[in-house]
Structures are given as C-alpha cells and as structure tokens.
Structure 1
Amino acid sequence: MDKRFDEKLKKDLVKDAGPLPESYKERVAVLLENLPHNQMEHKKKFKFRYAAVLAVFLLMASGARAAVNMYQEYLSSMSREDKKDLNERTQKMADNSDHFSRELSNNERDKIERLRDKYENDGLFAKEKILETDKKSEVKAGKLTFCYENSTFYIPDEELTDEEILEIIDFWERRDYAVKEENRGTQVSDKGQKISQKEAVRIAKETLRKVYGLDVDSVESSIEFDLAELSEKESMPSYFIYLSKDAWDYDTCTEVDSENGTVNQVSISHKTKEECVSGIKANEGKYEEYAGQIYNILSAIGEKDDDVEEICLIYKYRKDGTLSRGNVKYLVKLKDGSGYVFLYSANTELVYNFYKVYHYADTLRQENRKEKRQKQNGILEKRLTIQ
C-alpha cells in the first residue's frame, strides 16, 4: 500500500473514532478483578474520561487498522431509533451498577477476557443481540436477558457459551456508543482551552522523553479535546495527545489539563506484548525495588520527593502464588491529600499507566472495599508501605 495513503488512512480513522464514555479495557478489568463475580460498576450518565484510547491503540497496533474499521463500522450501523431508545432506557435506570443473577465462574471470567480481545482486535461480534426487558416479571428463566429495572444480567445456570458472552460484551459496547452519540452535543466546550494544542503536544513529548526515555523527534501525533471525569458532579477539560513512532515499542496517550498544563494521565500500550498476563509468579522484592523508579517518574512530572508522604505497593495473587492479572499497583500519597496511581506490568516490566487522583483518601477506601470482595473470589492481596 502506498505509504502516503496508509498514513492518511491512519489519521482519518483516528479522526472518525468517536470518544468512548469509559475505557472498555478498564471496565472489563473492573469486572474481572475489582468486583464480586455478580456485580460490575459502570457510569451510566455520560461523561468523557478517555478520548478514543481503545480505538487509537487498536489503530496504531500492527495489523489492527482493519479491525478498527470493522469495529467503528459496526457501531456506526446502529439506527437513530436504536441509539435513542438505548440511551433513554439507560438514563432512566436507578442503579449505577450492573449485576449478574449468579456468580460467574473463573472459566467464564477468563472467557470474557479472551473474547473481549477477539471482539476488539478481530472483529468477532455476537451473532444475535441480547434480550432486553424493562421489568423483572418479563424475564424468562434460562434465557440470557438484561433487565433495566434492576440493572441485572439474568444468565442461565449452566456455563455461559461464547455466543452469550459476546452478547454481553456487545451490549456494553452498544450502550456506551449510544449514550455517547446521544449526548455528544452537550458535553464538550472549548472554555477550558487556556493552553494551545501545540503547547499540549510539547508537554506530552517532554513527559514521554523524561519518563520513558523515548526519542520524541519526528513523532506522529494527533490530539483531541474532551472532558475528563473527576467525579459524578465534577469534570475537567483536557487534551488527549496520541504520539507514535515506528521505532518505539509502544503507542502512547497523554492527558494534559488544558487549563494549566498539568499531566493528569499517561497510558502506553506495547505493540507486541500484553500488559496484563495472568500466571506470572509474584516477585515482591522486585516490586519493592521498582518503587525507586516511581520516585523518578514523579520527579519527571514535576513532583518533589519531599511532597511524597508514602507509597503503598499492592499486588493481588492467587493461592498458587501467581499474580491474578499480572500487574502491580503503587498508590502515592502526597502531603496535600492528593496522589497518584501507577500500574506496573510484570510482563513488560514497565509502568503502563499512571494518573493523578485528587482525593487520595477516597482512592484508598475504594481499594479497601475491593480487598474485602476479592477474598470472596479467591484473590489474595499483599500491601507494603514504602517511604
């Protein structure tokens, strides 16, 4: 393919890839790791958090352009009536969580992870749509159904088939897309654009150079402006800068506050390796030693060592001593009550995501709640305080 046409196709696909309400991979990770087998949190009131991170990472990954095209075409094929109906039914729901009528087995959770990858990367979609109903009284026993009255997936007693799991994944995606499309005109404003896009790109490049040692000369870039979600009532205007280069092992997304230039989040995606791989033996000593690198990253983004009150290292593992999802979390508490969350991949041996939190105490409380729930699912947790 002509290189110039190939580059134009990339840029056009990035431009056409609409922002998603919430990172799809993050939502699946929440389902598989952080919540009970029968419950999944979701944001049903539409607010931007990440701007097409999934779509752009799929696009820039080797050989993934066709998958992105299929993915976008599939969602774009939803009729105006379907999008309106799905959005209205979602907004009327009283519960902010999705639930399952029974606990999911470990095999079913593994299937969700595996089929989610095929849905994203191979365009493997469900053959049928999940049955939807507004009232519990309309649910038929043994038939996979989503009920809006109590935000519950009613699933058969027997193991879910691949098709049934794909129908659940498909429902999540269509719901997100419908809510995004129906609320597109009310969410984004340029009032918060106090720094220029050129300056935001410069900040992103400098951050990647300092944190990951990347050569940022002659990089390919694209930028979007959206609202980053802080809480149910508070959002922050941000630039999302996507930088890539053939010589890099990673594709990147950096979130920069468009009012003051603060780096709120950095995500990198390895082109050939998965960040979250289960079955890796936990290595506590190595994770403790890596805390020194966390200090280096903080320094690179302008935080002072003296402002760090403590670092809490958290890793989750199974009884066989292997990491449940192949990642390690570092919670950084700053003296002003804010903090950062760093996610380290045991497979790529690198921090693949870090982001600012403005209320560290809330973040820690959430982790405490997760720990209690995970024990019920056979997932153990080790915490170490580092200073």
Structure 2
Amino acid sequence: MSEQDKKIDAAIRTYLRKQPTEPLPRDYDAYVDQQIWSAKQKVRHRKKCLRIAFYVGIVCLTAMSGLGVYAAAGYVQTRMQNMSEIEKDEYFDEVQTSEANRDHFSRELTENEKDRMAQLKIQYENEGRFPIDKVVRVDSEKDIVANRVCFEAGKSIFYLPEGEMSDEDLLEIIDFYYARDYSLANINPSRQPTRPYLKDERRRKLQKNARAGIERIFLVNLAEAKCSYTIGCYEDVRNKEITMIAFSFKTAEMQYDITLDVDTGKIYNIYDMNQNITDALEDVEVSDEKFDEVEKSAKDIVERCVQDESVHADSVMYELDESGRKIKGGMAEYCYDIGDGIVASKMDMKNDKCIALNYYTYQEFENMLNSMPELQQKFWK
C-alpha cells in the first residue's frame, strides 16, 4: 500500500470512528448466531414477505455498524461490490425459500476451528484474505461433495468435512455470511416487500406501548433510549393479512427489540439484545433440578408479559448435543398456554436469564414443532 493510500485509509478510519457503531461479539460463532437469530427468529414461521422485510432491515443495520473499517472502506467492500445481481438474487431466494429458523452445522466446530475462524475473520477484513473457492450449494444431503463445505438452503444447514477444516474451508464459511448479508442489504428495490403506510399518531401510540411493555417485562428504564422501526405484512394461518411493526430501543448500555400487531397492539416477540451471546452458546448439563430452577424465572417474565399470574408451564423445548447429555447452546424455550396461543420464553440456562419471548398461535406452534424434529419436549404435570 502506498503512502498516499495509507493516508486515505487513516482519514477514513478517523471519520468512521466518529460514527455511531455497534461492536460485534469477538467470537465469530457468536456473531453468526446473533445475526441469523436476530434476522430469522423475529419472523419465524411467518409468510415470506415479512421474513424478508425484517431480514433486510436487520442486515442494513448490521452493514452500517458491524463490518469494521476495512469492510466499509476497503477489501471486503470491493469484493462485495463485485458480486453480480444473479449472485445477490441467489442469496435472497435462499433466505426466502428456507423453512429453517436459523442456520445449522452438521457437526460442532472444534475449539481449534473456532479459534482459527476468529483469526481468519480478522485477516478477511483487514488483509483481504479471501477463499479461493465458494461454499458448494446442494439440494440434499445425498449431493454433498466429500471434503468440501456444502450448504443446503432448504434446511439452512452447512455440511462440514468430518475431519478438521482447513483455512480455506473456514474462509468459505466467513465469505458466505458476508456475501449473504451484503446481498440482503443491497437487493434490487423491486424485490423488496412494500412497506405499509402507518399514520404517525398510531405509530407513536404503538411505540409508547412497546416501550412500556419492555420496561414492565424486563424491569428496565428506556426513557433515554433511541428508537427505530420497521413495518411489514404477512398472512396468518387463516389467510388474514396482518401488519406488524418492529421497534428497536437502544441506549449506550442496552438494546431491546419488540414486534407488535399494528391493529391490536398485541406483542408477538421481544428480544433482549444485551445478553452475552457467547455465554448463551455454551452447552449445559441436562437435569430436572436445572429445568425447575430456570422455570421460576421464565414464569416471572411471562406473567409480566401477559399480565396474568395464573399462567403455568406447559412444556419446555430444547435440543440435545451429540452426547445426549447436554442442552445444545444452553438455551431452552419454556412454553405457556395463555388461552389463545402459546407464549415461549427462550432462556439462557447457564445464566438463568430470558433472551427472547415469542407468541405463537396454536397452529404456528404445531407447525414449528413439526418443522424441527430435533427438538426435545419436556412436559410439566
């Protein structure tokens, strides 16, 4: 790099440091899970137009704050801008057609792979170290290519080589996520869902109720929080069109995201974005004592959400690791029947904290269970 280029880069870095930013988690696995969770969970099992509307909104925020100086001004940005419209459309279509609520790996990454991926991500951004090839797209598991990283869009699953992955393999995964994020943030406007009209008076009322709901449920003060929002439509299981609005309340210390029905004001989901995602990804030993302990906190959260102290736990859902002795990712959803549907409190089992609240109609809940056969379900008496 010439001295002139170095001066230009230094000026860009100085400018960007003054802009509002959101640091990424240091662990790349945490970053991946956080972005997919934030984008897909919010529209889980909804119609595709709402899925894309929120996904694009989330990715736009990520693109502005999370890709780093060189990603915004140098190596990565140049690489992303060289993508063709066909490539970007492919990523868009994969998200639109996938029925999975998040990405999965066919096996867990080793500690060595996690450490190397974190280092390679830094080199990817700051040194322009890119993969020679790309992740192989396949239609099903029977089509996977030996000793290559393959991706099945329909299930959002990465099939990984059985042995330790090479740097090239890891770089292909990193490149896949950056390319997908960029594609969704820069998709042709004609392919993006139409944003419904909402009067300011109604939006302000919903915003006030959303803020009050978060404060009541999580016992926080958001008086100084800045607020942004995204609007989208979907058809429910009865083919009724519903307009939803997603608010994000953010201060220097905290962030909460919430989605409501525009017409009824009903809360559909809330996300505590302040949780240590790295901790939440740690597997936790399965035990009845642990389930009972965390259920008390989950119940308190749900009672404050629905403002009814008579709720009781119906079941808890979780995924086991390969050993069958630990809760994968340390997360479980405590489910409560509230009369017109199910409220599920997603709990970080290690820290006994609520990460998210989701409301499902009975049909949506059944569909979710059918689409995720890997889930275990423990019922309370």
Q: Do Structure 1 and Structure 2 share a fold, with TM-score over 0.5? A: yes
Residue 345 (1) aligns with residue 348 (2): yes
Alignment of 1:50-199 (within 5 A): 50=55, 52-53=57-58, 67-68=67-68, 74=76, 78-79=80-81, 82-87=84-89, 91=93, 96=98, 104-107=106-109, 111=113, 115=117, 119=121, 123=125, 127-128=130-131, 130-131=133-134, 158-179=163-184, 181-185=186-190, 186-191=192-197, 196-199=202-205
Structure 1's 95 and 385: CA in aligned 2 closer, same or farther, altered over 3 A? same
Counterparts of 2:150 and 2:79, CA distance in 1: 23
Q: Is the deviation greater in 187-196 or in 142-151?
A: 142-151
Counterparts of 2:298 and 2:161, CA distance in 1: 45
Residue 222 (1) aligns with residue 227 (2): yes
**Counterpart selection for 1:334 from 319, 331, 338:** 338
Counterparts of 2:324 and 2:157, CA distance in 1: 33
Whether the 8 Å CA contact 2:149–2:158 is kept in 1: the answer is: yes
Whether the 8 Å CA contact 1:211–1:300 is kept in 2: the answer is: yes
Structure 1's 134 and 304: CA in aligned 2 closer, same or farther, altered over 3 A? closer
Counterparts of 1:265 and 1:271, CA distance in 2: 16
Counterparts of 1:94 and 1:327, CA distance in 2: 26
The offset of 1:351, in angstroms, is: 0.6
Counterparts of 1:357 and 1:92, CA distance in 2: 24
Residue 26 (1) aligns with residue 37 (2): yes
TM-score by length of 2: 0.65
Structure 1's 231 and 174: CA in aligned 2 closer, same or farther, altered over 3 A? farther
The offset of 1:132, in angstroms, is: 7.0
Q: Identity of paired residues, percent?
A: 11
Whether the 8 Å CA contact 2:210–2:247 is kept in 1: the answer is: yes
Counterparts of 2:349 and 2:138, CA distance in 1: 45
Tell me the secondary structure at the aligned position of residue 167 of structure 1: helix
Counterparts of 2:372 and 2:359, CA distance in 1: 20
The offset of 1:340, in angstroms, is: 2.0
Size of the alignment, in residue pairs? Answer: 339
Q: Which amino acid aligns with 1:334?
A: I
Tell me the secondary structure at the aligned position of residue 89 of structure 2: helix
Structure 1's 130 and 116: CA in aligned 2 closer, same or farther, altered over 3 A? farther
Counterparts of 2:333 and 2:154, CA distance in 1: 36
Whether the 8 Å CA contact 2:149–2:169 is kept in 1: the answer is: yes
Structure 1's 259 and 329: CA in aligned 2 closer, same or farther, altered over 3 A? same
Whether the 8 Å CA contact 1:278–1:326 is kept in 2: the answer is: yes
Counterparts of 1:11 and 1:320, CA distance in 2: 40
The offset of 1:253, in angstroms, is: 1.4
Aligned counterpart, 1:244 = 250
Q: Structure 1: 5+ residue runs without aligned partners?
A: 14-21, 31-42, 60-64, 375-380
Q: Which amino acid aligns with 1:208?
A: I
Counterparts of 2:213 and 2:360, CA distance in 1: 18
Alignment of 1:216-295 (within 5 A): 216-219=222-225, 221-227=226-232, 236-246=242-252, 248=253, 250-270=254-274, 274-295=278-299
The offset of 1:234, in angstroms, is: 7.8
Aligned counterpart, 2:4 = none
TM-score by length of 1: 0.64
* CA RMSD across the alignment: 5.1
Residue 203 (1) aligns with residue 222 (2): no
